[in-house]
Structure 1
Amino acid sequence: MSMLRRGGALSRSLFLLSVVVTLGMGAPAHAGSWVHGIHVGSSGARGYQLWVPTGYQPGTPRPLLVALHGCLQNPDQFAGLTRLNEKADAEGFLVLYPNQAMFVNATQCWNFMLGTNMERGQGEPALIVGMVDAVKQQYAVDARRVYVGGVSAGGVLTGTLMACYSDVFAAGMVGAGAMYKAATTVSGTAFAMLFGSIYSPDDRGKDAWTCSGRPRRTVPVLVMHGSEDSVVNPLNGEQAMKQFLQTSDYGDDGVANDSVRGTPTSTSTFRAAGGRDYTVKNYVYGGELVGQKLEVRGMDHAWPGGDSRYPFADPSGPDATTLMWDFFKQHAL
């Protein structure tokens, strides 16, 4: 169950919260504004913020983008860093920002390293999908055009959501993150972040396909990473791309037969307005851009082209927000 609200204190207990949720579902907010809410599920409760774009009309279904912040961030900071709300106003999509609670992680990292958060129907992935369902009930959402993207811990959790809920999300963006089940323990996660996963991307590609129920569809993913990332080894970005290409290889015809291959169909290098060079590798099969890998040369653990007033911004990089949305709008379920 979920509650949409304009502000105010949260309920003192989950019981009272449930009552408020049941009775307090009001009319959606006007366009060009924040809506605050909380979702309660079997795995606990998390807050969230929803940006309703300027020009929103209740009778016109809009795309929905789920934006997952990284560690030491909250929705307001992530929105400011990425300028996603401005892009949403210009392009006409809703943005849902789940908020990690400090009482479950003091650094506000998503707990992607816990086994309960690596499967369908439980943990933080289920809570986020519950938020998506709540927004669909209150707002005009095009269910074929729901996307998810995140950075760092949010990027890793994005990979899990794309792996286990590919029937919900039409495409995803893994920023400075890692592949699905790059590690299955806390100590293993620390190793993977520093050196890359010890597991095979091909094996994890099959695991991801299985987690969504062996669907017959590709799973389009954009991967962004800095070449000098000192927090999450860039090898993790390579592994994430290979893993999802393998997932799509299973998804397009049900078998691993290299119908979707792990080699790019094109590679190009560009220079951002801020000065950094970046390489884009495209993976196009059957006329579909199944994967795109973007590596920003010289960039550390950051959001490319982000607002320098916020932490984890690299203004010298390309505009990651525009590149992400350009990738997303090519895809629908």
Structure 2
Amino acid sequence: MRSKLLPGVIEATRLTGAGRLGEAVAVIQRNLRGEAAAESAPTRALEPPTLDLVAEHVAEAEPRPASGEARRERGAQETPSGFPSGFAAGGLPTGGLPTGGLPTGSLPGLSEGLRDLAQRFGRPLGPLFDGLTPGSSPAPDLGMEERSFAGATGQRGYKLYVPGGYRGQPVPLIVMLHGCTQNPDDFAAGTGMNRIAEAETFLVAYPAQTAAANHARCWNWFNTADQGRDRGEAAIVAGLTRAVMAEFAIDPRRVYVAGLSAGGAAAANLGAAYPDLYAAVGVHSGLCAGAAHDLPSAMMAMRQGAAAPQGSALQQAGAAMPPTIVFHGTRDTTVHPRNGAQVIAAAAVSELRREAGQVSGGHSWQRTIYRDAQGHPDFEHWVIEGSGHAWSGGDPAGSYTDPQGPDASREMWRFFAEHPMPRE
């Protein structure tokens, strides 16, 4: 499949970059049919739903409201997130292509021909249809403030949760990066992190990716221009973090970043690029820092797993990866579970001990603890048996959650609390 698909993806990317969208889609369609380019029929016009999708995005000046976002049925086993595909401003493709198949009947509103196309190709084309099916979003958390940050590399809105117990005393801050098709309200509802913040007294910031930056609202973790220090989206999120720290009494030794899927991969990038800012990192169903640099490499990384390349810009930042906790389900068909192990492998740590358990009425799990060169237990890898591409222990009020546990949010907070920034 790889030898047939990859050339078509590269050619479609080239055509799209040249503004030849119809020809790009035709190339993908020919790949699905197993036809060589020379044997294919002349390019036909795009069918109306796809044409509407592209035209709507190109004309879009502001992100579409959260209430109009695509929503899939909640749950762990049958709700891949469409990570990380999308279209950048101007209709250029920016994402990788997940693997697997689409659930039957999951493409309402498309012509029968396009539904058949997506079903035969499987999940790789699924993200192209995000946004065509309206649905409801979780009710906004009234305790969250809506804010905006603008820096040299761009602007993003975000939601901020300030717990009732905050009275100006130094407190921790967790920056939470949502997955594809999600938004801050959805991610807050699904992870339940605000409830923990209220009980433990820390602030939570939820940056919001825009449809203008990525059609499926995925963080562009796979773009080299968005990965490194003082670059693109990494710089935006780091700047947003510092803005919250400047306004509130945030303990600079207790600032953390975590994310799901595309957000998890972006969190790994941030940890590698800003080890002086983030004391620890949480990666759920994501990939290691620098795992991809463009669309084809993102697709391969998601499908097969990928290690951080030697000599990458992130590695050249000159600092070790901060303490990191990783969660990944064994039945994740969107991001291969091997990627969770690669996050740990990139840190060059050694195994300390393993533990296992089972949630009552839920999933069994294995936790492996790793020590760094100084012998500190600074890395954890949680493998959730039978869980898919979903936040472990999450609340069904949010999308892409698996309530059958264990509770990733609580374990991440426990890990973060154990790992403040070392004193100089």
Query: TM class, shorter-chain normalised?
Result: 0.7 to 0.9
Number of residues of Structure 1 aligned to a counterpart in Structure 2: 281
1:240 to 317, 322, 343: 343
1:268 is aligned to 2:355: yes
- Measure, in 2, the Cα distance between the counterparts of 1:308 and 1:49: 20
- Displacement after TM superposition at 1:160 (Å): 0.3
Indicate the residue corresponding to 1:303 in structure 2. Answer: 391
Instruction: Give % identity.
Output: 37
Q: How does 1:72-151 map to 2 (within 5 A)?
A: 72-151=181-260
Q: Say if 1:307 and 1:265 are closer, same or farther in 2 by CA, change over 3 A.
A: same
Q: How does 1:165-204 map to 2 (within 5 A)?
A: 165-197=274-306, 200-201=307-308, 203=310
- Measure, in 2, the Cα distance between the counterparts of 1:239 and 1:219: 15
The aligned amino acid for 1:203 is Q
| 8 Å Cα contact 1:218/1:290 also seen in 2 | no
Q: Give TM-score, length-normalised by structure 1.
A: 0.81
- Measure, in 2, the Cα distance between the counterparts of 1:296 and 1:63: 28
Indicate the residue corresponding to 1:35 in structure 2. Answer: 145
Residue 79 of structure 1 aligns to a residue in which SS? Answer: helix
Residue 203 of structure 1 aligns to a residue in which SS? Answer: coil
1:163 is aligned to 2:269: no
The aligned amino acid for 1:309 is A
- Measure, in 1, the Cα distance between the counterparts of 2:194 and 2:323: 23
- Displacement after TM superposition at 1:203 (Å): 2.7
- Measure, in 2, the Cα distance between the counterparts of 1:81 and 1:279: 23
- Measure, in 1, the Cα distance between the counterparts of 2:361 and 2:156: 36
Indicate the residue corresponding to 1:251 in structure 2. Answer: none
- Measure, in 2, the Cα distance between the counterparts of 1:51 and 1:274: 32
CA-to-aligned-CA distance 1:28-76 (integer Å, 9 cap, x gap): xxxx932211111122211001100111011x11000000100010000
Q: How does 1:1-12 map to 2 (within 5 A)?
A: none
- Measure, in 2, the Cα distance between the counterparts of 1:189 and 1:69: 18
Indicate the residue corresponding to 1:56 in structure 2. Answer: 166
| 8 Å Cα contact 1:202/1:242 also seen in 2 | no
The aligned amino acid for 2:415 is F
Residue 378 of structure 2 aligns to a residue in which SS? Answer: strand
Residue 77 of structure 1 aligns to a residue in which SS? Answer: helix
- Measure, in 2, the Cα distance between the counterparts of 1:92 and 1:310: 22
- Measure, in 2, the Cα distance between the counterparts of 1:209 and 1:188: 18
- Measure, in 2, the Cα distance between the counterparts of 1:311 and 1:179: 23
| 8 Å Cα contact 2:260/2:283 also seen in 1 | yes
- Displacement after TM superposition at 1:306 (Å): 0.7
| 8 Å Cα contact 2:228/2:313 also seen in 1 | no
Return 265-274 or 155-164, whichever deviates more: 265-274
1:210 is aligned to 2:316: yes
Indicate the structure whose relative CO is greater, using CA pairs within 8 Å and at least 6 residues apart. Answer: 2
Residue 292 of structure 1 aligns to a residue in which SS? Answer: strand
- Displacement after TM superposition at 1:273 (Å): 2.9
The aligned amino acid for 2:220 is N
- Measure, in 2, the Cα distance between the counterparts of 1:235 and 1:34: 35
| 8 Å Cα contact 2:223/2:292 also seen in 1 | no
Residue 45 of structure 1 aligns to a residue in which SS? Answer: strand
CA-atom RMSD in angstroms: 1.8
- Measure, in 2, the Cα distance between the counterparts of 1:47 and 1:201: 30
Indicate the residue corresponding to 1:230 in structure 2. Answer: 333
| 8 Å Cα contact 1:62/1:94 also seen in 2 | yes
Residue 179 of structure 2 aligns to a residue in which SS? Answer: coil
CA-to-aligned-CA distance 1:8-44 (integer Å, 9 cap, x gap): xxxx99xxxxxxxxxxxxxxxxxx9322111111222
Indicate the residue corresponding to 1:313 in structure 2. Answer: 401
Q: Say if 1:123 and 1:222 are closer, same or farther in 2 by CA, change over 3 A.
A: same
- Measure, in 1, the Cα distance between the counterparts of 2:323 and 2:144: 29
Q: Say if 1:177 and 1:98 are closer, same or farther in 2 by CA, change over 3 A.
A: same
| 8 Å Cα contact 1:273/1:318 also seen in 2 | no
| 8 Å Cα contact 2:227/2:314 also seen in 1 | no
Q: Where do 4+ consecutive residues of structure 1 move more than 4 Å? A: none
Residue 289 of structure 1 aligns to a residue in which SS? Answer: coil
Bigger strand fraction: 1
- Mark the runs of 5 or more structure 1 residues left unpaired by the alignment: 1-11, 14-31, 247-259
- Measure, in 2, the Cα distance between the counterparts of 1:57 and 1:287: 37
The aligned amino acid for 2:390 is A
1:70 is aligned to 2:173: no
Q: Give TM-score, length-normalised by structure 2.
A: 0.64
Q: Quick check: which has more Rg, 1 or 2?
A: 2
Indicate the residue corresponding to 1:279 in structure 2. Answer: 366
- Measure, in 1, the Cα distance between the counterparts of 2:403 and 2:296: 33
CA-to-aligned-CA distance 1:265-303 (integer Å, 9 cap, x gap): 101111013410000000134452221000000111000
- Mark the runs of 5 or more structure 2 residues left unpaired by the alignment: 1-60, 63-141
